Amino acid sequence: MKKKPFVWPGKIVDLVMTSLFRRPATVRYPAEPLPMPERFRGMLLYFASQCTGCKLCMRDCPADAITIRKVGERRYEAVIDRGRCIMCAQCVDVCLKKALAISPNVELAQTRRDLLRVVFPEKLLDRGEPKAPPVASNSADGPARVGGEGGGS
């Protein structure tokens, strides 16, 4: 039987004293807001007014979480399955018209799986999510378009 090495009690007291004056390593979430890094990839947002229906985001999504459907003349909607989305932001990078964006929102938990399938833009506007960032128009027919309009135009 091996003899255990003797631990000097002073080392334990020193460790206890130093940890008494440190800040806690945990965050008091949800009582306090959760600080997120600047480029954090959270919930995927879709802006129908800027979408041209090219479906590059659908082709590039490794999880098949995005479906773009035509709902009218030059009007498109996106069905995003947040249960499948791996938040890689490849769809945001490939979108030429900036119709997709990543928000820092991390509160995506739901009690039912069907609530993770979101149809944009209707559900987006119902919940009061932020509007799309302005995108410069490539045509000479006016100023830059601002997204977030219901159903596109």
Q: Give every strand in the sheet of 66-72, ordered side by side.
A: 66-72, 75-81, 117-120
CATH fold label, 33-126: Alpha-Beta Plaits (3.30.70)
Distance CA 70, CA 18 (A): 62
H or E element, residue 16 = helix 9-20
Distance CA 61, CA 58 (A): 5
Please state whether the predicted TM-score (pTM) of the whole model is above 0.85: no
Residues sharing a CB contact under 8 Å with residue 117, sequence separation 6 or more, in sequence order: 79, 80, 81, 82, 83
| Cis ω before 30 (30° cut-off from 0) | yes
Over residues 95-152, the pLDDT tens digits come to: 999 999 998 888 888 899 999 998 886 544 444 444 544 444 343 433 333 334 444 4
Q: In DSSP terms, which residues pair with 76 in a beta bridge?
A: 70
Over residues 12-43, the pLDDT tens digits come to: 787 788 888 888 888 888 888 888 888 889 88
Comparing C-alpha atoms, which of 153, 151, 3 is closest to residue 77? Answer: 151
List the domain boundaries for the chain: 33-126
